[in-house]
Amino acid sequence: MATNVFARERTAAEALSSRLISYQQAPVGIILGTGLGQWVESLHDFLAIDYKQIPGFPKATVESHVGRFCAGRVRNVPVLALQGRFHLYEGYTPDEVCFGLRTLGLLGVKKIIITNAAGALNPLCQPGEIMVISDQINLTGRNPLVGLNYGEPLFPDMSQLFSPRLAALAHSTALQLGQRLQDGVYIGILGPSLETPAETRMFRRLGADAIGMSTVLETIAAKQMGMEIIGLSCLTNKNLPDCMAPTSLEEIISVGKDISARLSSLLDELIPRI
């Protein structure tokens, strides 16, 4: 992507701004991952704009991927949502991967919910569960702040990337709904191949509880923009190195869809309390 990516993000935000005026009063931002995008359509005053209609937005390479910038309300709280994201493994640059997140920031988002589908590495976690991300390991070898295009802070502090306040709120909200959330470290890899048993063993030993191919760059960009961050991993499969079962994209998407009903009720209750 050209070096003037920052200007392109401003162009996108300005183009969206005129259509989103009524949603821009302290909006909560949310990124909806693989198979988790449907919830947004239940919002009041729902509005969706295809990424391809937004000037400056990266172009989708995979036609089947839904890519829409959405807005709506949960009990009067304005929400700006990215339905579908760009991944490094599709060949996008870190700037392109973070384009939507940074556009949310320019539109006034200060609190961001980042969701993803992930494989469980912790043997105590089961497919179908939701994990609150307590911390992350960026193993993609990429960083969205490289190039120093984005101003200050150049070296954002990472000692508390995810908000303990939002994590505690998610846990208590879930308990009131009769759900129990897991809690753990997310490791982000480049992909797109899934892990071998030896890699799975290594990632577990590195301290990760869940693994996926997104999120870790967006959180870094969000932190630099000063956002308060909560990450929710929907655990779609279990990776145990000593009895590794094959995993397919179909399985990941289908379990993701099962979890999305629970994720939806959690989001409906969590967002008004944020």
Binding segment for ligand HPA (CB under 6 A), chosen from 72-80, 98-106, 210-218, 222-230, is: 210-218
Number of other CB atoms surrounding residue 250 within 10 Å:
8
Cβ-based neighbours of 42, under 8 Å, separated by 6 or more:
264, 268
Q: Quote the CA–CA distance of 184 and 238 in Å, as a whole number.
A: 14
Query: Helix or strand or coil: residue 263?
Result: helix
Residue nearest to ligand HPA (CB): 119
Q: Is 263 in the site for ligand HPA (CB under 6 A)?
A: no
Residue 255 contacts ligand HPA per CB under 6 A: no
- Judged on CB neighbours under 10 Å (0-12, 13-18, 19+), 75 is exposed
Token reading at 110: 């200060």
Question: Counting contacts by CB under 6 A, is residue 231 touching ligand HPA?
Answer: no
What is the spatial distance between Cα 18 and Cα 197, in angstroms, rounded to a whole number? 50
CA dist., res. 159 & res. 239, Å (int): 28
Whether residue 144 is preceded by a cis peptide bond, meaning omega within 30 degrees of 0, is no
Residue 216 CB, nearest distance to ligand HPA (Å)? 12
Kindly tell me which of 103 and 239 has the beta carbon lying closer to ligand HPA: 239
236 binds ligand HPA (CB under 6 A): yes
Q: Is 247 in the site for ligand HPA (CB under 6 A)?
A: yes
**# binding residues, ligand HPA (CB under 6 A):** 13
Nearest to ligand HPA of 57, 203 (CB atom):
203
Cβ atoms of 258 and 36 within 8 Å: the answer is no
Residue closer to ligand HPA, measured from CB, 129 or 195: 195
- Give the CA-trace dihedral at 257, 46, 80, 167, to 10 degrees: -50
Q: Which of 130, 239, 259, 266 binds ligand HPA (CB under 6 A)?
A: 239
Among 166, 194, 263, 270, which residue sits at the site for ligand HPA (rule: CB under 6 A)? 194
What contacts 266, CB < 8 A, 6 or more positions away? 130, 170, 173, 174, 177, 179, 232
Site for ligand HPA in 85-124 (CB under 6 A): 117-119
Q: Out of 67, 105, 212, 231, point to the residue binding ligand HPA (CB under 6 A).
A: 212
Which residue type does 249 have?
A: L
Task: Name which of 26 and 190 has its Cβ closer to ligand HPA.
Answer: 190
Is the Cβ–Cβ distance between 38 and 260 less than 8 Å? yes
Binding region for ligand HPA (CB under 6 A) out of 41-49, 149-157, 207-215, 221-229:
207-215
**Nearest distance in Å: CB 195, ligand HPA:** 6
Interface residues with ligand HPA (CB under 6 A)?
117-119, 194-195, 211-213, 236-237, 239, 247, 252
